[in-house]
Structure 1
Amino acid sequence: MAAQGSTPVPAIPRPDIGWKFCKPLDPNDTSQCVCNFCSKVTKGGITRMKEHLMGKKGNVAPCHKCPKEVRDELWGYLNEKKQKDSEAYARVRLDLLDEICDRGDSDEERAFDEGRSEIAAMRDKGKKKVPKGQLDLYLRKPESAITRNRVEKLKQASIREACDKEATARVHQYIARFWYQAGLSFNMIKLESFQDMLAAIGSFGPHLKAPSFHDIRVPLLTKEVEYTEELLKGQKEQWGRFGCSIMSDAWTDRKGRSIINFMVNCSAGTMFLKSIDSSDFVKTGEKLFELLDSIIDEIGEDKVVQVITDNGSSYVRAGKLLQEKRPNLYWTPCAAHCVDLILEDIGKIPLIKKTIGKAIYLVGFIYGHSSTLSLLRFYTDKRELVRHVVTRFATSYLTLERLQQERSHLKKMFVSDDWTNNNLSKETKGRQATKIVFSTAFWNTVSYILLIMGPLVEVLRKADSERKPSMGYTYEAMDKAKEAIKKSFQGNESKYLKIWEIIDGRWTCQLHQPLHAAGHYLNPEFYYSNPDLEFDYEVTKGLYDCIDRLIPSVEIRRKILEELPLYKTGTGMFGEPFAIEQRSKIAPAHWWRMYGLSTPNLQRLAIKIVSLTCSASGCERNWSVFEQIHTKKRNRLEHKRLQDLVFVKYNQALLRRYNVRDELDLISLSDIDECNEWLVGRMDANEDYVGNERVFADEDLTWDIVMDASGLGDDRMTTRQKTKKKKQEFKC
């Protein structure tokens, strides 16, 4: 009776969302739960049951009958809870930091930071749980901190990074303030050495004393020079294996001092060696010979393959004296300088010279007035006519190319109301600029010049490359440039024959060197694609000259000549399928390293030749480094310290640039053939003249009609003589 009259025990309210989808096996014991969907019993309370329902791996098998909406609800609840816990922790931490800062107790703050770091380390999986003490601040090495910092960049932001936003912002503001006061370039923030500096300072901790003026000027600079020399050890080892090239060029600094730079290039990159102040002597051929000869002694004659300079008469004289004294190396004129001289010779042709003069006048007029410059940027969508020079030797070409690209925008600018209402449009210079823009002859000649110079500028880019050796490509590049010019004019000799004569004149007397011929012969892409190359007298003679001059040992010369037929016939490893397939896919030097093992003596010579550079432009790029360092604020900097600063800055920059190069990629000469495709046909008789170009594609209105109708280019001043002439024309 008592049992029948008793009432059931009411359900105990449980706030956790998981109880909606399960129930306890025993109402008074929540450690064992039963799933409402699959009736599975789990031990571990509601947390283990939620993992079962959510399908969270690790502790319990997932429920395969749990609906998707239930699983999503539980995951959302879990994520929301984690976020709330994180926000609560951040609030507590900031309150505690504020309290510590108010008390000024640095020891407590440091203890708190160390405790927080230990908690973060305990939470990170895979990390060793090593307690840290006060001595760690003084025993940590900056190198290990820098390495650890680079690794941690790839990982998810830690709790410290998430919670220290305000503190980080304060530190960043101090860094920015130093940046602005020192007038540093914003790009310097990307330097890896700056990130290393921050990691080293952070590893040291508080109370770091800054280096003194003397420290950073003398002992630290000396140590950095030693560190840089250590970085360059690998390059110096390559000098002995496959030889190197000495590059030299001179320049004048802001104080009027003449400085000669010397650099060394090899298959491992380019190295700045030294600079010499030549202000106290005249740079005659004999004096330059003495300087170059001393540099060769410093490096070792057996390691030097060639010396590259510009084509000045003094350097030519020095090169001849050098080859007379040193029978086992070459003096080679800078290929980039030779191509630039070709472009300058072409620019002296009267028609081309006149057109370039007009282009310079037009650009100078636009950039010489703020109103016209503002109009230009409006109509060209802020594109400039003066481009940043890709190569240092083709400014005229680049200017004309940009003018050609912005031709339609320039015409719209000079017919706009903004221009016609401008007082400059009524002046003589303004009318002259307008006439140039609407001159049919001007634009036709611009197209003609670009057709000529385009292939040569591409050759210049290839020869001027620092990252990829171009010795095996210069010979073919010049031939392709000539053929591209001929093709552009559809074989019309009257339009290109004079250009060919200019190219051949410079090529024969300056650029046609044995090393270029041998590089062409030993480039597998060109040798095997041209069966007649074996019978080319100039190329073959260049190869034999190099064997005779670069190989002092008679025995090794004999072995090379015995191995040469294997390369000619493509037998041995040269005939392997992989070697055949990669003749035109990888750089020649790398191809010889992989497939020249059956001819070890020829292989060594081939790598030595095809790994050479053919340009001394690296010396000229070094000028900008001197200009950055030798400013007015440092005008009393003696030459030795200036040289050390350049040695450190330039060599470390060269190493960074070399490390991102693609040494396996060969130099592509297809650009020389294709560089004129967007222009070919513009001067064809079947095409409209540039002046008859349509203003709108779907209308017959041309720019000639616009110019005639608007009276642009006409004189705005009316004289009696002109009025009388117009009346007579009207009567007729």
Structure 2
Amino acid sequence: MVDDVIFIKNFIVGHSMRLSMFNTFTSLKGLSIAPTKFASTIVMLKRFRSLKEGLQEMILSDEWSSYKEDNVDSAQFVKKTLLKDNWWMKVDYILIFTALIYDVLIKTDTDMATLHLIYEMWDSMIENVRKIIYQHERKTKVEHSSFFEALKSILVDHWTKGSTSLHCLAHSLNPRYYSHEWLNEDSQRRAPHQDVELTQERNKCFKRYFDDVDVRRQVDIEFANFSEGMKDFADEDSLRDRDKMDAKSWWIVHGVYAPTLQKIALKLLGQPCSSSCCKRNWSTYSSIHSLNKMTPKRTEDLVFVHSNLCLLSKNSSKHKDGEIKLWNIAEDDISLHDNEAPDW
């Protein structure tokens, strides 16, 4: 599918007359793949899908029919492909199941506090991808799908490569995952303290964080009371707020009964789940230093000013509507990532 899109794109931009016709029938620009950019293939397909009506109007127009050029076979292939309903259905199918993956990766790529959410997000995303693929292939849950198994293998490898014990600990400290509301949404769900993998990774963190056996035992007792809603955590407000309040606020209000665990929770629940947003500073540093050949100290100061201007811009009303949104070092709006692929 991507090869077809690239072929059509190259055919259109390969001649000024065809490109002129394209610009006449569409108000949007096409996007090309940029291998070093995030999900540029999916972004390109999304934009190509938005161009469907304009492309079909172009190849059915009198201008296209009257235009004479030497590559007739390629022109026929482009016309035949763009008029195929089945071909466009495949594009839609690709965009539907990749949108779930794209959304999770976008949330991972920001400076938002998602360390305590990412574990469950990946599990839910893989299950939702399975549902879409099985529905498309008209298979029941017990049947085998070679395509889904191949895709699942890629996703699991990606998660295994990037996950750490801290992801599991942060997940275990999110009160929402112990609430009856969340557990009852799916019969397959289990509270974190009942999951073997989460328990093993959580214990690894506790052993590394607390060298003293007595302190670690006290933390285990605090965690037991928290996870089972015992003793002071059995308070009606504490149990009800597990699904109603965000995790960090809940620990601020109700975590006083587990002081040691509360300190850890407040640190983890305010953390992003990856360091990818920090890489933008490295790119800024490289651009400033390479263009101006300044000393490292002066370049560092300029990066500091630039990054903090971006952060301060979030308080401005122009952050979402004006040009300032392009400054953001960790934009959460998915639509902005469409700008990462170059125009035709």
TM beyond 0.5: yes
Judged with a 3 Å threshold, the aligned counterparts in structure 2 of structure 1 residues 403 and 424 are, in CA distance, closer, same or farther, namely: farther
Aligned to 1:401: 46
Larger Rg, first or second structure (1 or 2): 1
| Greater RCO structure (CA 8 Å; 6+ sep) | 2
Q: How does 1:513-592 map to 2 (within 5 A)?
A: 513-528=164-179, 529-530=182-183, 532-533=190-191, 534-571=193-230, 574-592=233-251
Q: CA deviation at 1:594?
A: 1.9
Q: How does 1:212-231 map to 2 (within 5 A)?
A: none
- Matched residue type, 2:41: S
Aligned to 2:154: 502
Judged with a 3 Å threshold, the aligned counterparts in structure 2 of structure 1 residues 424 and 615 are, in CA distance, closer, same or farther, namely: farther
Aligned to 1:416: 61
On the 8 A contact 1:514/1:543 being kept in 2, the answer is yes
Query: Greater strand percent: which structure?
Result: 1
Flag structure 1 segments of 5+ consecutive residues without an equivalent. 1-354, 662-670, 672-732
Q: Does 1:438 align with 2:83?
A: yes
Aligned to 1:485: 129
Q: Does 1:651 align with 2:296?
A: no
On the 8 A contact 2:33/2:44 being kept in 1, the answer is no
Q: CA deviation at 1:385?
A: 2.9
Judged with a 3 Å threshold, the aligned counterparts in structure 2 of structure 1 residues 384 and 575 are, in CA distance, closer, same or farther, namely: farther
Give the one of 610, 623, 636 matched to 2:269.
610
In 1: Cα distance, 2:246 partner to 2:12 partner: 45
Give the one of 109, 126, 131 matched to 1:464.
109
Judged with a 3 Å threshold, the aligned counterparts in structure 2 of structure 1 residues 408 and 480 are, in CA distance, closer, same or farther, namely: same
Question: What's the CA shift string for 1:485-525, capped at 9, x where partnerless?
Answer: 111134634242221122223333x1342111112211122
Q: How does 1:235-254 map to 2 (within 5 A)?
A: none
Q: CA deviation at 1:401?
A: 1.8
Q: How does 1:317-356 map to 2 (within 5 A)?
A: 355-356=1-2
Q: CA deviation at 1:593?
A: 1.6
Judged with a 3 Å threshold, the aligned counterparts in structure 2 of structure 1 residues 577 and 392 are, in CA distance, closer, same or farther, namely: farther
Query: Greater helix percent: which structure?
Result: 2
Paired residues in the alignment total 302
Q: CA deviation at 1:655?
A: 4.5
Flag structure 2 segments of 5+ consecutive residues without an equivalent. 184-188, 320-333, 335-344
Judged with a 3 Å threshold, the aligned counterparts in structure 2 of structure 1 residues 579 and 487 are, in CA distance, closer, same or farther, namely: same
Aligned to 2:5: 359
Judged with a 3 Å threshold, the aligned counterparts in structure 2 of structure 1 residues 588 and 433 are, in CA distance, closer, same or farther, namely: same
Q: CA deviation at 1:460?
A: 0.4
TM-score (structure 1 length as normaliser)? 0.38
Question: What's the CA shift string for 1:291-325, capped at 9, x where partnerless?
Answer: xxxxxxxxxxxxxxxxxxxxxxxxxxxxxxxxxxx
On the 8 A contact 2:97/2:133 being kept in 1, the answer is no
- Matched residue type, 2:301: D
- Matched residue type, 2:263: R
Identical aligned residues as a percent: 28
Q: Does 1:476 align with 2:81?
A: no
Judged with a 3 Å threshold, the aligned counterparts in structure 2 of structure 1 residues 650 and 387 are, in CA distance, closer, same or farther, namely: farther
Q: Does 1:593 align with 2:252?
A: yes
- Matched residue type, 1:511: G
Give the one of 62, 72, 93 matched to 1:448.
93
What is the root-mean-square deviation of aligned Cα atoms in Å?
3.2
Judged with a 3 Å threshold, the aligned counterparts in structure 2 of structure 1 residues 388 and 523 are, in CA distance, closer, same or farther, namely: farther
Q: Does 1:642 align with 2:287?
A: no
In 2: Cα distance, 1:482 partner to 1:563 partner: 33
On the 8 A contact 1:520/1:527 being kept in 2, the answer is no
Q: Does 1:622 align with 2:273?
A: no
